[in-house]
A and B are shown apart, each in its own frame.
Chain A
Amino acid sequence: MMNMLQFEAGVLEKLNAKAHWVWRETLKIHRQSQETRVASSLSAVEIFVTLYYGGFLRFDPANPLWELRDRCIISKGHGSLCMYPILADLGYFSVTELEKVCKEGSFLGGIPDPVIPGYETINGSLGHGAGVGAGMALGLKRKGRNQSVYVVTGDGELHEGSNWEAFMFAGQHRLDNLTVLVDNNHISMLGPTDEIISHRSLIRKFDAFGWFAIEVADGHSVAAIAKALQDCRREASGKPSAIIVNTRKGNGVPGLQDAPLSHVAAIKPDLIDQLIGER
């Protein structure tokens, strides 16, 4: 378990620096592969940085399917371009692969698949991660194992009904080794999620399904996400956890951030050069 004081004293700066590096690298990948979905990747940067660099996940890049690893399912497959620099940085594959994203012969596609070291499951088709994660969590429990399962979804993705079948199931079976993080960037493909099918209160929904649910007001604060993950570990005994992480789609990119159609928008290379130069 992470020591909070130690975290505040030293790790926080490292995490913030890492998040900034991942943000820049994500933009650089998008510069060379304009067909990638960059806006929903930029909203999730701090979620993944906190999980992977904050000491919350046990993993071994030299042995991606290490039996004692914690499982992290990236259900919002389109929006995980930012995972490529993270996995390369951690040693799952060479950083030189980042120059080949979406190029012929590369294993790093626009939507990641489990042929990429570090990815657990198939992604891209939405609404699958929670159910598969629940099955893994049940399997780990029935085997008496103490590994945890984390699932990262988007808020638009939660329109898929299969998620709610999984949430009912996980609540019923008290899968307290399962944590779902919702990248709540409030924008789906064709506009604000609230204007398509409003989730109203995700906290109340998860609570009604028997989950321990908390909200992170600023989803671009690694400290706030880390605190939420710690709170879940401390308080969610006997229940699965849901963390509603309020983020901004296209975070940090003028014209893209919070734009209703940002999901399918590309950032012009000149703007990327300017942004990388400025920050």
Chain B
Amino acid sequence: MDAIATIQPKAMRDTLLLSLYEAMLRDNDIFLVTADFGSPVMDKIRADVPQQVVNVGIAEQNLINVSAGLALEGFKVFAYAIAPFITMRCYEQIRVNLALLSEVRPMNVNLIGVGAGYSYVVSGPTHQCYEDLTVMRAFPNMRIYSPADQVAAAELPGRCLSSDGPKYLRLDAQVLPVLYSEEPPIFANGFHEHRNGGAVCLLATGYMVHTALKVADRLMASGISVGVIDLFDICGFSEDLLQSVLSSYRGIVTMEEGFRGRGGMDAMMFDYIVRRGLDLRMLNIGVEGGYRFELGERHVLHEHVGIGVERVTEKVRGLMKSLSA
């Protein structure tokens, strides 16, 4: 914990872009394309390696197409924009020029989407993003990384540069507590087990890992132990290893900052459990009640839509009761 305490909290995008910046200084074939979206680290990149950067303006369709063209010319491309816009504004461009074309041409294009879930709290539903896991996992060859903290986010450029294909990097826009020490999670596994024990395991991604840890703390205060897993490689985690970890549990709770029952992480885990024949009761935590326009702090909004600490704790208790019945 001491090592974690010494890390200054930063936004995921800043640690990720800093890693990318260092890689760009070493490798002229890395290209950063932005849809007029910045950050202080982006300013540094633009100043120091201008030949490897281009701003396409507020034009996400062209962001994807230009990125595809650069990738076809051998560049390793990072495209950078706000999460709902880089996924849904240009969905067909991603399908045709990244997902389809990368099946027949070597291409390395990595979409960095900032603003997962409710992280743009006061900007309302246009800038919030509760559908991206659903729509991006529909592509059979899309790798999705959903880190829960800045340390994991900083690891992503290295991961992305080491393998071709289309990838979506789903970043929170807020500065979140640090979960990992200088020793980052093992990406080859695709998940990290933060807590273990008890009958139920909370399987969360992104911001919801922090909620899961708070829920676990609350339950522990009343003597109930639960497991907590951070799933950050949504489509590429080690299925065998996860099965081994889950074998000690009787129930699993999926936790995502996206619409419940709409094909996101809940559907993915349902498929996994059925396909593997696991004997697990499953509870899905996700946004309920459709689009909302209320303003408020993120944790308050989360309670409104059923994914806040209070509501989740209550639901997990319910699951435990049904398991012991």
Contact = CB atoms under 8 A, between A and B. Distances in A.
Nearest to B52: A142
Contacts of B104: 113-115
Interface string A165-183: 1101100010000000000
Nearest to B95: A125
Interface residues of A, number: 28
Contacts of B54: 138, 173
B65 A132 contact: yes
A82 B143 CA distance: 37
Given A122-B101, A135-B68, A136-B69, A166 B62 contact: yes
B97 A169 contact: no
Nearest to A143: B73
Interface in A161-202: 161-162, 165-166, 168-169, 173
Contact of A122 (B61, B62, B70, B100): B100
A135 B105 contact: no
B11 interface: no
B67 interface: yes
Q: Which of B64, B65, B69, B92 has the most CB of A within 10 A?
A: B69
B40 to A, nearest CB: 24
B93 A138 contact: no
A54 interface: no
A128 B62 contact: no
B101 A162 contact: no
Contacts of A137: 69
Interface residues of B, number: 29
B284 to A, nearest CB: 34
B73 A139 contact: yes
A142 B51 contact: yes
Contacts of A132: 65-66, 68-69, 72, 97
Interface string B70-95: 11111100000000000000001100
A42 interface: no
A118 interface: no
B69 A128 contact: no
A131 B96 contact: no
A114 B71 CA distance: 15
Contacts of B74: 139, 143
B267 interface: no
Contact of A136 (B51, B56, B70, B101): B70
A166 B51 CA distance: 19
B59 interface: yes
Contacts of B93: 128, 131, 162
A138 B73 CA distance: 9
B197 interface: no
B61 A134 contact: no
B65 A114 contact: no
A120 B61 CA distance: 19
Interface string A91-135: 000000000000000000000011100001110010010111111
B188 to A, nearest CB: 31
A128 B66 CA distance: 10
Interface in B104-135: 104-105
A140 interface: yes
Given A142-B51, A162-B62, A135 B70 contact: yes
Contact of A162 (B65, B70, B71, B73): B65
A165 B56 CA distance: 8
A168 B59 contact: yes
Nearest to A139: B73
Nearest to B69: A135
A168 B66 contact: no
Contacts of A168: 57, 59
A131 B65 contact: yes
A10 to B, nearest CB: 36
B125 to A, nearest CB: 23
Contacts of A143: 73-74
Given A128-B93, A131-B66, A134-B65, A165 B59 contact: yes
B92 to A, nearest CB: 6
Contacts of A114: 101, 104-105
Given A139-B75, A162-B62, A128 B70 contact: no
A279 B61 CA distance: 45
Most buried by A among B56, B64, B71: B56
A197 to B, nearest CB: 18
Contacts of B73: 135-136, 139-140, 143
Contact of B66 (A113, A125, A134): A134
Contacts of B70: 135-136, 138-139
B66 A169 contact: yes
Closest 8 interchain pairs by CB? A135-B69, A131-B65, A139-B73, A135-B66, A165-B62, A136-B69, A165-B59, A162-B61
27 contacts: A121-B72, A122-B101, A125-B96, A128-B96, A128-B97, A131-B65, A131-B93, A132-B66, A133-B69, A135-B69, A135-B70, A135-B71, A135-B72, A136-B70, A138-B69, A139-B31, A139-B69, A139-B73, A139-B74, A140-B73, A142-B31, A142-B51, A162-B61, A162-B62, A166-B66, A168-B57, A169-B62
Given A122-B101, A135-B66, A162-B93, 16 more contacts: A114-B105, A115-B104, A121-B68, A122-B96, A125-B92, A131-B61, A131-B65, A131-B68, A132-B97, A135-B70, A136-B73, A138-B69, A138-B70, A165-B57, A165-B62, A166-B66
